[in-house]
Structures are given as C-alpha cells and as structure tokens.
Amino acid sequence: MSDLRRPRVGHIEFLNCMPIYWGLMRSGALIDVELTRDTPVALNDALVAGELDIAPISLVEYLRHADDLVLLPDVAVGSDGPVLSVNIVHPRPLSDMDGGRVALGSSSRTGVLLAQMLISERLGVDVEYVRTEPDVPRMLRNADAAVVIGDVALRAKYEAPKQGLTVTDLGTAWRDWTGLPMVFAVWAVRREYAERHPGVVKDVHQAFTRSLALCRDELDEAAAAASRWEPFDAATLAGYFRALDFSLGERQLTGLRAFAAKAAERGEVPPLPADGPLLFQP
C-alpha cells in the first residue's frame, strides 16, 4: 500500500473554472487529487498557509508571494479580448467620474487593480475607492461604479444594460490599452512542494492540460450540463467558456509581465524578476 498522500488541489468555485472541472471529471483525474472548491481569495490564503499544495489564485496574489511559489505552465484564467466576467458597472461614463467613488468587490484582487489602473492611468480620472461585498445594486447605492468578477459579473453583463447601466469589460479594456491578453488567475504550486514532489506536480499539470483539451472538444456538452443548475442558458455559457482563455503560453506571459510591471510601478506588488515568472518544468 502506498503511503503517499493525494496532492491537495484548489478549484475556483466560479463558473469560469467549470470547464476545467468537467475535464478533470471526464478524464478520471479527480480520483487522484483532493479537491477543495472555494473563492480565489480563500484558495490563495490556504495555499500560502500550506493547507493546499497547488491552487488557482489571483494573479496579484501570485505576484505578492512569487518567492514562495512556482507557476504551472499552459493553464490560466484570462482572455484575449472580452472576458465577460470581470466588469465595471456604471450609470455614467467613466470619464465623468472625477471626484466620485468606485466600489471594489472584495472577491477580486486582479480585476479591481486593473480597474484602478484603467481609471487613473488610462482615463486620468481621480476617484476614491471603497472595498465592499460584491453585490452590484448595493454597491451602486453608495458609489458611482462597481467592479465585480465571476458569476456576479457575468450576470451583470446581461442584466445591467436592461437597467440603463453600462458594463465595461476589463478584458477588452486591457487589450485595447496594451494589445495583449489579460491573465486574471494562475495555477501556483508551493515551491517547497514542487521541490519535494516534482513527479506529483508533473502528473497534476498533465491532468490539467489533458482536461483542458478534453473540455475544448466537449464545450457545448459541458455548457448544457452546467446550464441545468445555473441562471444562464447553454448557449450563453458556451459563449462564455469560449471567450475565456485558459492557456498560459508566450503571448499570455507577455501580458502577465506587462500587468506585473504596472502593478509594481503602483507599489501594489514587488517587481517580478527579469526572467520571471518562475515556471514549473514538467
């Protein structure tokens, strides 16, 4: 009998990671991991505290803890254009918000920082920021704009325009600004775990890349299955899953480095080393 413990792997409980879950389920890889489903913020805390070995975490949290972490190549949550689920929701044009207030949803680290970069650096608009629960109607009662991610943001994308609100897609905004894809979440491994168990990390990496390939082939099926339990129909979900970019190749890494440099300039994260990020070599 083996005395090996299954790797403790995190899973983002938003719809954005459902295609990966589908692939892990369909390939049988779920049996080989101890999976914890939670918000990106909770997964980050658990990874840094050593309660998880491998987890998808917000890019900003990776940059804050880059010395202790290694990134899995080939897998991420991002977009090369519209992402649909990382949004600023606002009644008036963003350029008219000078002196106003923007509510930042507490479930996000990367989306909310990107929103701040966009508002101050690209639009040159000066506002006050407040952190609040990610609830769009409540946020807009006390602020001029709401920044939200995940299922709440995806819902706002379709519902908010019916209430006369504008939805600014932060994936689109980043691409228009830099010409690059945006990476919102990455899969990180505790460095010490990767050094002790390179074979296990290699297997988990392979399980993710296989799962993604499987899911790409069965995206409509995955969307139809998920739509039975979600407030979105199958076609909407399939469109969402296709908008998301789950890859982390050279182009995505260039986008990641551009975001990291801007975040470091703002003093939000330490600078990434010139040869960073450190990638796990499968």
Instruction: Please report, as residue ranges, which positions from 184 to 213 form the binding site for ligand ISJ (by CB under 6 A).
Output: 184-185
Task: Give yes or no for residue 150 binding ligand ISJ (CB under 6 A).
Answer: yes
How far apart are CB 199 and ligand ISJ at their closest, in Å? 28
Task: Give yes or no for residue 14 binding ligand ISJ (CB under 6 A).
Answer: yes
One of 18, 62, 85, 197 touching ligand ISJ (CB under 6 A):
85
Beta bridge partners of 189: 54, 70
Task: Give yes or no for residue 149 binding ligand ISJ (CB under 6 A).
Answer: yes
By the 10 Å C-beta count (0-12 exposed, 13-18 middle, 19+ buried), 81 is classed as middle
One of 8, 64, 109, 197 touching ligand ISJ (CB under 6 A):
109
One of 7, 19, 82, 111 touching ligand ISJ (CB under 6 A):
111
One of 77, 118, 201, 226 touching ligand ISJ (CB under 6 A):
77
Nearest-angstrom CA–CA distance, 76 and 72: 8
Q: Which stretch binds ligand ISJ (CB under 6 A): 107-115, 130-138, 155-163, 196-204?
A: 107-115
Size of the site for ligand ISJ (CB under 6 A): 18
Q: Are 248 and 71 in contact (CB under 8 A)?
A: yes
DSSP 8-state symbol, 50: T
What the block records as the tokens of 144 is 């001029």
Q: Which is nearer to ligand ISJ, 202 or 262 (CB)?
A: 262
Cβ-based neighbours of 133, under 8 Å, separated by 6 or more? 105, 106, 139
Positive or negative, the CA dihedral 166, 171, 177, 179 is: negative
E strand residue ranges, the chain? 8-12, 34-38, 54-58, 69-79, 86-90, 101-105, 128-132, 145-149, 166-169, 182-190
Q: Which is nearer to ligand ISJ, 147 or 200 (CB)?
A: 147
Instruction: Give me the residues that bind ligand ISJ (CB under 6 A), please.
Output: 12, 14, 16, 40, 58, 77, 83, 85-86, 108-111, 149-150, 153, 184-185
